Structure 1
Amino acid sequence: MNASRPVITPAQAPHLKRVRELGPRRIPFSSGHQLGFDPGGTLLLAKGRGEAPLRWWDVGSPSDAPLGTFEAPPSAAPAVLTGGDRVVCVGPANLSPAGLWRPRLLALSARDGALLGEEHVQHAVTTLARSRGGEHLLVVPDGGAPFIWDVKSWRLACELGGLDIEASVTACALSPDGRFAAVTAIPHDGQQGNLWLWETTPGARPWRLSIDASPAWSVAFHPTEPLLAVGGLTEDVVVVHVGERRLVRTLAGFRGYACNLDFNPEGTLLAASHDSRGFSVHRFDTGAELFRTGDDNDIQTSDVLFSPDGRLLAWGQGDGTVGLWGVDPR
C-alpha cells in the first residue's frame, strides 16, 4: 500500500479519482468480478463469474500485471485471500476414492499457485466469507449446514444449524469479532424471511428476519458497532442491530440497487456496487451519496471493496481490468 496516500474520509470521498488499473484487459468481458483483499491489504484477488481465471495482484508492486493466476472452473462461489498469503477457492471433484464426485475446498499459495491443502465437502459451495484476520472462513454449501473452517489448521472449527427452510443463498458475512455469521437468501416457497443470523457456536440455530429487500443480494457487518447492512433489489439499504436482532433504520438513495456492500475501516462510509455499470460511496449515518462512477458496460456487476487501510477502493471494470480509486496526495 502507498502510505503517502490519504485515508478516504467522508470529507474526501467526493474527490476520489481512479489512480490505477490492474490488468490485463479481457475483451469481451461481461461477467463481472468478485474481489477480495488479503487481511494486510498487500494482495488483491479477482474472480470472474464466468470463464475468467482467478487473478491476484501485489498492490504495492509497480507492475499492473497479475502476480498469479489459477484456472478455476466456472463456479458461483467466490474465492478469498486469507492470512499467510493463501488463496482459498472451490475446486471440482478429482474422482479420488476419498471424494469421488464431491467438490473440494482448495488452499493455494499466492506466491506460485501451488496446492497447499484440500478438503472434500458434501455439497456444492454457494458462497464464502473470511474473518477480518483471515483465520477462519464461513462456508455456505448448497443444501447443507453452514460451517466455520479453520484456515491455519485446515480443519472444521464448528458446524452451524442449517437454514430452517429451503432457500437459495445470495451472500454471507462474518462479524469482525467472529461471533456472528449472517446469510442472505431467497426462500423457495416465497415465505417472508431473507436474512439469517447465527452465533458461531456448534449447532447454533439461526434467527431469521424479513427485510424489505427482496431478493437480498448483499450483507456487510459494521467494523466497530454491532450492526449489519443489507442491500437488495430496492433503492434502500436496511441496517440491523445484531445484538438486539431488530431493524434500526433504513438508508435511502442507493440508485441502481445495492448488489454489493462494503464499509471503510472506520465505519463512516458505505460503498455499494450496482446491478449495472458503477459504484457509489455513501455516508453511513445518513445514506447521503458522496461519490458515484462507472463505465459503459451495462451487462456486468462487480464487487466494490475498501482496502484494509482505507486508502483505496477497488472495483471491477467492464473491460476485465480492476480499477483502484483514491485521494490525490496533493
Structure 2
Amino acid sequence: MSSTDLTQAVITPANVSGLKRLRQLGPELGIVRGERLCFDPSGTRLLAKDASESRLRWWNLDSATDVASGLVELKMGPIEALFHGSNHIVTAGPPVAEAAVAWRPRLMALSTTDGSLLREQTLSACATGLAMSRDGILLAILERGEALLWDVAAWKWIRDLLGVEWHATVKACAFSPDSRFVAAIVNDYDHDQAGLYLWDLKASSHPWVHSLGFQFAAGVAFHPTRPLLVARGVHEVVVMDVNERRVLSRFNDYGYYVSNFNLSPDGELMCSSTDNCGLVLHHVDTGEVLFSHSDDSELPTGDAVFSPDGRFIALAQGDGTVGLWGVGPLP
C-alpha cells in the first residue's frame, strides 16, 4: 500500500467513521514530544521533525518497508521542516563556524536522497515558524521580532514582513492557496491570549493583527477553496472571512486538548492530534465531532496531517512511530 494508491478512498464526512490505522511507520524511539509532520506535494514522501532530539526522518511511502529512508541529526529548535518538491527539505539549522556571527542560525536545504546539505543562508535570528506556498515558490520565515519573505527556487530574500512583536511566539503559519496572504498564529504572553497576524502581500508589508479571544494557539490554515481562515486554540476554533477581516463563526470543544490541526484538501474536515495519543476529526462548517480515537496513553502526540490527495492522515505518535490512517479501499 502506498500514499498514491488510487484504490484507497478519499476521506469524507460520509465515510470518516470508518477510519483505521493502516500502517505504522517506525521504528519506535522512546518518548518523542511534539513531532512535526509534512507530506511532499506528491504524497509519496512523509517527513517528521522531532523537536526534542533535533532529528529529521522521512519515509518513501511507495516502498513496502515501514523503516525511514532518510535520517539527519541536527541541533535545531522546535521548528518545521518542509518539503520543497519531492527531492529537497527546507528547515532552520544551527550556526556554522564560517558565519560572520558564530551564534546566528541558518536556513538550510537538504537532499532527500542522502540528507546532504545543498544550500544554506545565515539568518538574523532563530526561526520560530516556516510556511511554504502551494506552488513551492515562496517561503515565509518567522523569527522573533522579524519576518521574511523568501524565494526558495532562487534562494534569495524578497522583502521583510513588518509588524511582528518581540513578545509574541509563533505557533504556526500558512500561505493562502493563491499565495496572496500569509497568516501566523501566535501566543502573546504579554496580553495572555493568542493573536493572529495576516499579511496581504499585494497591499502592504504591515499585517492586520487580531486578538482571537483564547489563550493558547494550536494552529492556523486557509480554506483550500473558499476565502476563509481557520484559527485553532487547544479547545476553540475561529473561522474568519479573509477578504472582509471579520469572524464568521466560532465553536468550542472542551472534550479534547488539541496540539495541532490540519484541513482536508476539500476543506470539509479538520483533523487534530490530542493530548492522549489520539486523533479527532471535526466538520469544519458545523464543528461536529465525526471521528475520535485515543490510545489512552500518557505519551505526547505530535502533528496530525492529511495527505495532499485526502486519502490518508498521518499521526505522530508519542513513541516515535507515525500512524498512517485511511478508510480502506474503494468499493
Q: TM-score range by the shorter chain?
A: over 0.9
**Per the alignment, in what secondary structure is the counterpart of residue 258 of structure 2?**
coil
Q: What residue in structure 1 maps to residue 55 of structure 2?
A: 53
Is residue 217–residue 231 contact of structure 1 (8 Å, CA) maintained in 2?
A: yes
| Residue identity opposite 1:80 in structure 2 | L
| Superposition pairs of residues 1-330 of structure 1, within 5 angstroms | 1-27=4-30, 29-51=31-53, 53-144=55-146, 146-164=147-165, 166-190=167-191, 194-201=195-202, 204-233=205-234, 235-253=235-253, 255-329=255-329, 330=331
Q: Distance in 1 between matches of 2:277 and 2:213?
A: 24
Determine if contact 1:104/1:121 at 8 Å carries over to the other structure: yes
Deviation per CA, 1:213-242, whole angstroms, max 9, x where unpaired? Answer: 212221111111111111113x22111111
**CA-CA distance at 1:151 after TM superposition:** 1.3
Number of equivalent positions: 327
Give secondary structure in 1 for the equivalent of 2:17.
helix
Distance 2:53 2:36 in 1: 13
Which consecutive unaligned segments of at least 5 residues does structure 1 have?
none
Contact 1:83 1:134 in 2 (8 A): yes
Contact 1:315/1:323 (8 A) holds in 2: yes
Distance 1:53 1:75, change over 3 A: same
CA deviation string 1:75-130 (max 9, x = no partner): 11111111151111111111214453210100001111111100000000001112
Structure 1 distance, partners of 2:97, 2:142, is: 22
The CA distance in 2 between the partners of 1:64 and 1:42, in whole Å, is 13
Identity %: 43
Contact kept, 8 Å, 1:236 with 1:257, in 2: the verdict is: no
Instruction: Calculate the TM-score normalised by the size of structure 2.
Output: 0.93
In 1, the alpha carbon distance for the partners of 2:217 and 2:142 equals: 16
Shift of 1:294: 2.7
Query: Letter of the aligned partner of 2:135 in structure 1?
Result: G
Distance change >3 Å, CA 297–CA 136, structure 1 → 2 = farther
Cα offset, 1:162, TM superposition: 2.6
Moved more, 46-55 or 162-171: 162-171
Per-residue deviation, residues 239-282 of structure 1 (Å, max 9, x unmatched): 11111111100133363233211111111111112234212111
Q: Report deviation, 1:164.
A: 4.9
TM-score by length of 1: 0.94
Instruction: Please give the root-mean-square deviation of Cα atoms over the aligned residues, in Å.
Output: 1.8
Task: Give me the whole-angstrom Cα distance separating, in 1, the residues matched to 2:122 and 2:166.
Answer: 25
What are structure 2's unaligned runs of at least 5 residues? Answer: none
In structure 2, C-alpha distance between the alignment counterparts of 1:232 and 1:242, rounded to whole Å:
18
Single out whichever of 105-114 and 157-166 deviates more from structure 2. 157-166
Q: Which AA in structure 1 matches 2:140?
A: L
Describe the superposition over 1:113-156 as per-residue Cα deviations: whole angstroms up to 9, x where unpaired.
11110000000000111212322211101222x11211111111
- Partners of 1:240 and 1:301 in 2: how far apart? 27
- Residues 52 and 208 of structure 1, relative CA distance in 2, 3 Å threshold: closer
